[in-house]
Structure 1
C-alpha cells in the first residue's frame, strides 16, 4: 500500500487554483500552548495525517515546549478538527482564536514544522521561570487598566506590525524581531518598575514569554491581554465595548491584516501618502514586505523599486539566472535599510 507524503508536493499555482475552486467556506483560527511534548516529530506526523484528511491548511510549529498554530479549516469539518485537537492530551480544551475577517485564502498548504522553540525569542529558558507569567486581562479589564495613569502599555510586536495598527498610548519598540525586542523593552522600562506594565501582542503567545522575562528582571506588576488583539476584537464586538485599538491588526498569513478600526495610521513607503496596504515585492528575488498605496502599486507594478520592477519584467529564465547563488533579501521593510532605497526613486521629482 502506497503511503501519502507527509508534506505538500504541489506548486503555489496549483494550490491557489485548488483554493479558488473550493465550493465551501473556511474558518481561519489560531491557538498556542506551552506544554511539554516528548516526541515532537512523531506527533507532527500524526497531526499531519489527521489534519490533511480534514482539509486543514496552515502553518504550525511544534517543539518540546509546545505548539503555535495558525490555520484554516473547512467549516463543515470544524467540529472534527476540534475533536482531533482535543484528542491529544497535550492540547485538550486549548482555546481557539477565531479570525476577525474571513476570506478563505489565509493559507495555501498544510505546513507542520518541528523547531527548537515555537517562538524565536533568543532566551535561555532554563535561566528563569517561564511559567511565572503576568496576570491575564480580558477586554473589559484591559480597557480599565488603560484609563489609569499608573499603567505603562507596551506593544510586544515588531515595528511593521504596530505601524499599521496599535492601542492608543502604547510604547511601540522599533524592532525587526521578537528576539531583538525583549532586551529593548527591558531597557526602555528600567526606570518604571513601580508602574503597572500592561502588554499585548497578536494572539497572546509572545506576551507569555515577555511577561515572565520582565518578572524575572524585577517587575512585580505585569499584566497581559488574554488572547491578544484577536480575542480583544471579538470580545469588544460581542459585549459592545469601546475599542481602544486603532487601525489594522497585522497577521502572519495570506491576508496580512485584519481591520479592527477604520483609521489609517501608516504611510506608503514610497510616496508617503496614507496607506496600510501591505504587499510583497513582485520581484521574487526581493519579495520584501512593505506598505504600498494603490497609486504606487500601479506606477511600480507591485515592486518596491525601479530596479525590482525591471527585474520582474524579465523572462522567468532570466530572473532565475540573476537569483542563482544569491541569498534572499530581508523579509520585511526595515526603516534603516530600505527607506533610503525606495525614497531615492522620488529624488528627481
Structure 2
C-alpha cells in the first residue's frame, strides 16, 4: 500500500504548476525528537493526511523523531496546524516560519523513512542524547556574544556559511554535519571551560551536537533556540541588533532567505559581490555554486563553458555523450571548484 503513497505527476509538470501558481503559501520548518515505534506506518498516515491539505515539502521520519521543511496554503495554515497538533508528540511544537518567502519553496510532498532525522554518524547508545545544551533566546544570544571569552560556532556546511554567518563565528570547512562534529571537537579542545554558542538553520543539528559535546566534557554548551530563523524573527519582533550577516541558506527551491542587507560572498565566476546560489543548468553537472546576474546571463545559468555548450545540445546528443564526459558536478563537492574551469572528457 505504501508504494502508492507518492506523487504520480512528472516533476517538471509539478514545478511548472508551482511557478505559475498565484496561490499564497507559507514556508516553515519543524522538528521533534520522539520515539516512533513504526516509522513506515507513521509516514504513510502522514502522507495521506497532509496531502489532502495541500502540503508540499521534504519530511524525514525515523525511530528517533521527525524533521520537516514544508510549505502549506496560507489560507489553510490554521487547518494544517490543527491537523498537525492532533498528533500528541507534535502538539504545540514551534513552527519556524520562513523570513524571506515567496511561496515557491517546494512543489510536491516527499516523506521518507530514514535511520536518523539528521545524518550525524553518532552512536546514540554511547551518550545521553536527552542531555542537551542550554537554549538561548535572541536577547540571551546577543548578551553572551558580548563576552570576550564566548566562542560562536557555525554547525552548518561550508556552502551554507559562505553566504551568511554570525560575526566572528568559527565556520568549519565541511560538506556534511557528520564531518563537522569531530572537527569542531578538535578545534575546541583547549576551550572546554568557555561558553560555546552553536547555531544552525533551525536548531536541529545543534540539539544533537550539544548533547555530544557535553558528553565529551565541554562544560558550557549553548545553542540558539530555533536556529537562525527564530533568532532573526525575535530580533525583528523585539527590536534587537541582528548580528547575523547576509543570507540564511535553505534546502528548498529558494536556496536562501535574506536575513540582513550585507552581501558577504562573491560570484564564483567573476568575483563580484553575490550571494545567489544556483545549480548548474546542465543536468549532467547540476553543481551548486554562487552566480551573479551578469554571469547567469553570460553563461546561461551554467558553471563553465563546457556545461553551456553541453546544455545547448539536443537531448538525444546529451544522452549519448553523458557517459563519456565529466563535469564540475561529477568531480567536485558542493561549491568546491573553480567555476570557469574546463573539465576534460573521461578517457
TM-score for the superposition, normalised by structure 2: 0.94
Residue 100 of structure 1 contacts residue 230 of structure 1 at CA under 8 Å; is this kept in 2? yes
Output aligned runs, 1:269-308, within 5 Å. 269-308=268-307
Residue 283 of structure 1 contacts residue 303 of structure 1 at CA under 8 Å; is this kept in 2? yes
Output aligned runs, 1:175-324, within 5 Å. 175-324=174-323
Residue 2 of structure 2 contacts residue 44 of structure 2 at CA under 8 Å; is this kept in 1? no
Tell me the SS of whatever aligns to 1:29. strand
Query: Which whole-Å deviations, capped at 9, do the CAs of 1:135-158 have from their partners, x for residues lacking one?
Result: 000000001010001200000100
CA distance in 2: counterparts of 1:145 and 1:257, whole angstroms: 27
Is 1:329 matched up with 2:345?
no
Uncovered stretches (5+) of structure 2, i.e. residues with no partner: 343-347
Partner of 1:7: 6
CA distance in 2: counterparts of 1:92 and 1:117, whole angstroms: 21
Partner of 1:42: 41
CA distance in 2: counterparts of 1:332 and 1:213, whole angstroms: 27
Partner of 2:345: none
- The structure-2 alpha-carbon separation of the partners of 1:330 and 1:101, relative to structure 1 and needing over 3 Å to count, comes to farther
Tell me the SS of whatever aligns to 2:88. coil
CA distance in 2: counterparts of 1:102 and 1:262, whole angstroms: 16
Output aligned runs, 1:85-104, within 5 Å. 85-104=84-103
Aligned-pair RMSD on alpha carbons? Answer: 1.9
Query: Which whole-Å deviations, capped at 9, do the CAs of 1:158-197 have from their partners, x for residues lacking one?
Result: 0000000000010010101101111110010001112101
Residue 250 of structure 2 contacts residue 256 of structure 2 at CA under 8 Å; is this kept in 1? yes
How far the C-alpha of 1:241 sits from its partner, in A, is 0.7
Partner of 1:159: 158
How far the C-alpha of 1:330 sits from its partner, in A, is 6.6
Tell me the SS of whatever aligns to 1:215. helix
Tell me the SS of whatever aligns to 1:41. helix
Output aligned runs, 1:81-160, within 5 Å. 81-160=80-159
CA distance in 2: counterparts of 1:115 and 1:331, whole angstroms: 26
TM-score for the superposition, normalised by structure 1: 0.93
Tell me the SS of whatever aligns to 2:89. coil
Residue 154 of structure 1 contacts residue 199 of structure 1 at CA under 8 Å; is this kept in 2? yes
Tell me the SS of whatever aligns to 1:271. coil
CA distance in 1: counterparts of 2:312 and 2:128, whole angstroms: 53
CA distance in 2: counterparts of 1:309 and 1:21, whole angstroms: 26
How far the C-alpha of 1:270 sits from its partner, in A, is 1.4
Equivalent residues, number = 340
How far the C-alpha of 1:344 sits from its partner, in A, is 4.0
How far the C-alpha of 1:90 sits from its partner, in A, is 2.4
CA distance in 1: counterparts of 2:323 and 2:54, whole angstroms: 35
CA distance in 1: counterparts of 2:85 and 2:325, whole angstroms: 44
Residue 305 of structure 2 contacts residue 340 of structure 2 at CA under 8 Å; is this kept in 1? no
CA distance in 1: counterparts of 2:310 and 2:298, whole angstroms: 15
Tell me the SS of whatever aligns to 1:68. strand
Tell me the SS of whatever aligns to 2:209. helix
How far the C-alpha of 1:18 sits from its partner, in A, is 2.0
Residue 287 of structure 2 contacts residue 335 of structure 2 at CA under 8 Å; is this kept in 1? no
Tell me the SS of whatever aligns to 2:90. coil
CA distance in 2: counterparts of 1:47 and 1:288, whole angstroms: 32
